[in-house]
Amino acid sequence: MAESHGGAKGPAAGAHTEADGSHHGGGFPPFESSSFASQLVSLAIFFVLLYVIVSKLALPRIGGAIEARQNKIEGDLAEAQKLKDQSDAALKAYESELASARTRAQAIGNESREKANAQAEAERKTLEEQLAARLAGAEKTIASTRTAAMSNVRGIAADAAGQIVQQLTGVVPDAASVNAAVDASLKG
């Protein structure tokens, strides 16, 4: 059958028909060696063609598309992460700023309170001192007035005593003895 196929092919290769195929249909086509060369040659041509198309064009193309998508996804995720980190940092900065402002406000409050206290204390002290000084001055004035008054009282008393003695006795008493008597009565 292999020979008959080969023989039939030889003279009129271009004129093969279905009928021609069926007349040697008794054989088992996969084992007809006359067709092997044709099949091997076409397999070699088309498989090499396919390999070249696949390795030079198809795989770089599809692989590139997949890789581009992968890169895009990774880039977007990284971008999102970056933005999240930024917002986290901003939140942290805001919180620390708030905390420091709060402590600063507290410090300022404390400081001004202390200052005010100290000032009040100082003012109170000076006022007290002034009052004390004036009190002391007043007391001194009172004392001096009193001594002056007392000395006047002695003079008046001595005069009055001299007059009384003069009136009663008609004798002008000795001034020194009048003064001594006045002093003695004032003491007593």
Partner 1 sequence: MKIDPIHQFNIEPLFTLGHIGNHTIAFTNSSLYMLVAVAIISILMLASGTQMVPGRLQSVAEISYEFVASTIRSTAGAEGMKFFPLIFSLFMFLCVSNLVGIIPYTFTIASHLIVTGALALLVFFTVLIYGLYKNGLKFFKIFVPQGVPIYILPLVMFIEILSFFLRPVSHSVRLFANMLAGHIALKVFAGFVAMLGFSLGAVGWVGGVLPLALTVALYALEILVAFLQAYVFAILTCIYLNDAIHPGH
| Cβ atoms of residues 165 and 182 within 8 Å | no
- Of 77 and 148, which CB lies nearer to partner 1 in the complex structure? 77
**What count of residues does the chain have?**
188
150 binds partner 1 (CB under 8 A): no
32 binds partner 1 (CB under 8 A): yes
Measure Cα distances from 104 to 51, 80, 115, 142, 145 in Å. Answer: 75, 36, 16, 56, 60
Stretch that binds partner 1, among 16-24, 83-91, 119-127, 167-175 (CB under 8 A): 16-24
Stretch that binds partner 1, among 6-14, 80-88, 115-123, 155-163 (CB under 8 A): 6-14
Measure Cα distances from 78 to 81, 82, 83, 113 in Å. Answer: 5, 6, 9, 52
| Cβ atoms of residues 137 and 166 within 8 Å | no
11 binds partner 1 (CB under 8 A): no
Q: Taking the complex as a whole, how short is the minimal distance between the CB of residue 93 and partner 1, in angstroms?
A: 36
CA–CA separation, 184 and 125 (whole Å): 47
Q: Is 171 helix (H, G, I), strand (E, B) or coil?
A: coil
- Of 3 and 169, which CB lies nearer to partner 1 in the complex structure? 3
- The residue ranges that bind partner 1 (CB under 8 A) are 6, 9-10, 13-14, 16, 18, 21-22, 25, 28-32, 34-47, 49-51, 53-55, 57-59, 61-66, 68-69, 72
